[in-house]
Amino acid sequence: MAKGREINKVMLISPKYTLFKSDVRRNITPMGLAYLGAFLERENYDVSILDIFSEGYHNLKKQGDFVICGLDDEEIKKRIKEFKPDVAGVSCIFSTQYKNVQHTLKLIKEVDENITTLIGGSHPTYTLEETLNNNFLDFTIIGEGELPTLQLLNALNNKKDLSTIGGLAYRKGNKKLINNKLQYMENLNDLPLPARHLLNMEQYFKINMPQNPYPLGKRVTQIITSRGCSAKCIFCTTTNFWGNRYRGRSAENVVDEIRKLKKEYDIDEFQITDDNITLNKKRVMKILYGIKDLGLKWCVPQGVAVWALDNELLEKMKESGCYQLTFAIESGNQNVLNNIVKKPLRLKRVKPLVKKAQELDIQVHAFAICGLPGETIEQMHQTYDFVKDCNFDSASFFVATPLVGSELLKICNEKGYLREGIQPNEQLYKIGNITTPDFEARQVQELTEHFSRLYNETNPKNKRFGENLY
């Protein structure tokens, strides 16, 4: 323990996952925790990361139409006892996992009620009042986690005032103290590279079910080169969470990470999980030039900014090992894109880019969303027709999902469009929860199922990517 510190050992936890019964169980490294772990280690805190989902990947419990996956409770408590943390932080990125997060907090306090608990991520950031009612929770980190978490630990050690820490919420007696002055890393190069040494990397390699679960490589990992997005899509919470702006690591910093991953873990593929890797063409070109001699395969399953893509960039992507891209077109109707989705994409650019990528032997997957307020059933069919006309290799048709923190949820609440009694674990992209004067929730759910099955099962180009992959 560092001299004078009462708090030194920090355990970061990724909880069990609740998935829809037909979902693919992607085993993805918890990059947020890996970044936070590295950040705290640099300040000489003793850090451990427990990925409950990955470590218990084959432990499944059926619950109606859902499956809960991860280590059993006794094993979780055993791991906590072995490390003996002073602080335990649980990641809560998705609302669908909030019940699992609550359960994990309970297990931590059962091991030792003196362990200080905290949670962070998208869900608690947007549901502070509810989150702070949890009796097993001591602190909530709002927004980006590195700076407020470090400041909290230092303040606890030095008996300093906690109320001045931006991005921190907690209870003091019957009062809820919330400091909404959020903090962001201005220069992402100031972050150390993710602490993958705190993760069981061989477990991820062995299972080999990353975000694109049909990888070409056998030792695959993910990287994040930026935070934020310049688009304002109404269904997304990313824009707000990352401070309504885009920040990118330098090309040199990204290339250095990829080279180290090959040297230290012998990776043969990496997957870029940025919200939009192509926003800054000059930066991306430098990255591609820096990695082209490594002989690695790579893909972008999360999606690219199609409006920032061109033929030159596609050619350089292929030269550097790219084998798959995802185009998040959302809708095949320009009016829906402009006035409902609010995405800066001109549809006429899509088909030529798909054709160019395929000429380069880069497979292209499409993301599309159906069931947004103001959209009609006819326009949803137009989306399917557009995807088919562009001749995508494969496609995912999602049900519009009113995520906590999104503009879409606000619209649905104001207009009374949400299904009564909707639960956070039902906020999945395959479940219809929105009914408007133009359509019924169940109607959209059945339509997207039909679109996905019809497109992927009948498309002769779809050799690797199937309907359930996204």
So what's the pLDDT on residue 424?
A: 56
What is the rounded CA–CA span in Å between residue 275 and residue 225?
9
In this structure, the dihedral spanned by the alpha carbons of residues 357, 359, 360 and 364, taken in order and rounded to 10 degrees, is 30
Find the angle CA(269)-CA(270)-CA(273) to the nearest 5 degrees: 155
Band of the pLDDT at 427, cuts 50, 70, 90? Answer: low
CA diameter of the chain: 67
Look up the pTM and report it. 0.93
Backbone angles phi, psi at 106, to 5 degrees: -60, -45
User: Residue 28 in contact with residue 222, Cβ under 8 Å?
Assistant: yes
CA distance 336 to 331: 7
Q: How far apart are CA 235 and CA 220, in angstroms?
A: 29
Strands 139-141 and 220-223: unpaired
Predicted pLDDT of residue 404: 86
- pLDDT one-digit tens code per residue, 175-205: 999 999 999 999 999 999 999 999 999 999 9
Residue pair 17/97 in contact by the 8 Å Cβ criterion: yes
Please enumerate in sequence order all residues whose Cβ is within 8 A of that of 187, keeping only pairs 6 or more positions apart, or say none.
none
**CATH 3.10.129.10 is the classification of domain 210-458:** no
Q: Cα–Cα distance between 399 and 404 in angstroms, integer?
A: 15
Ranges of CATH 3.20.20.70 domains, the chain: 210-458
Question: Which class is domain 9-179?
Answer: alpha beta
Q: If you average pLDDT over each of 115-119, 123-127, 423-427, which comes out highest?
A: 115-119
Give the C-alpha distances (Å, rounded to integers) separating 46 from 3, 81, 87, 153, 310: 13, 15, 10, 12, 46
Residue 134 backbone zone (phi > 0: left; psi -120 to 50: alpha; other: beta)? beta
Please indicate whether residue 423 or residue 202 has the higher confidence score (pLDDT).
Answer: 202
Q: Which of 295, 303, 306 is nearest to 326 (CA)?
A: 303
CA distance between the termini of the chain: 44
**Alpha-carbon distances, residue 14 vs 121, 345, 390 (angstroms):** 11, 35, 39
Check: CB of residue 377 under 8 Å from CB of residue 447: yes
Q: How far is CA 162 from CA 88, 121, 128, 140, 204, in A?
A: 18, 20, 17, 12, 38
The pLDDT-based confidence of 425 (bands split at 50, 70, 90) is low
> What's residue 4's pLDDT?
52
Across the chain, mean pLDDT equals 92
Q: At what angle do helices 98-111 and 73-83 cross, to 10 degrees?
A: 50
Tokens representing 56?
A: 């218990």
Count of H-run helices and E-run strands, the chain: 17, 18
- Report how far residue 419's alpha carbon sits from residue 77's, in angstroms, rounded to the nearest whole number: 37
| Phi/psi at 218 (5° precision) | -105, -20
**Tokens encoding 118:** 């905290």
- Provide CATH 3.40.50.280 ranges for the chain: 9-179
3 state SS of 165 = coil
**pLDDT attached to residue 3:** 46
The helix/strand/coil state of 466 is coil
- Number of Cα atoms under 13 Å in the Cβ half of residue 125: 27
Residues 6+ apart with CB under 8 A from 184: 143, 144, 147, 242, 243, 247
- Please report the DSSP string for 315-381 in residue order: HHHHHTTEEEEEEEEE-S-HHHIIIII-----GGGHHHHHHHHHHTT-EEEEEEEE--TT--HHHHH
pLDDT range class, residue 469, cuts 50, 70, 90 = very low
> What would the DSSP string read from start to end of 27-64?
----HHHHHHHHHHHHTT-EEEEEEHHHHTTT-EEEET
Query: Among 213-222, 435-444, 458-467, which stretch is predicted with the lowest mean pLDDT?
Result: 458-467
Q: Of all residues in the chain, what percent carry a pLDDT higher than 70?
A: 95
Whether residue 347 is predicted with pLDDT greater than 90 in this model: the reply is yes
Asked if the model's pLDDT at residue 338 lies above 70, the reply is: yes
Under the banding of pLDDT at 50, 70 and 90, the label for residue 461 is low
Non-local CB neighbours of 359 within 8 Å, separated by 6+ positions: none
Closest CA to 376 of 329, 316, 438, 467: 438
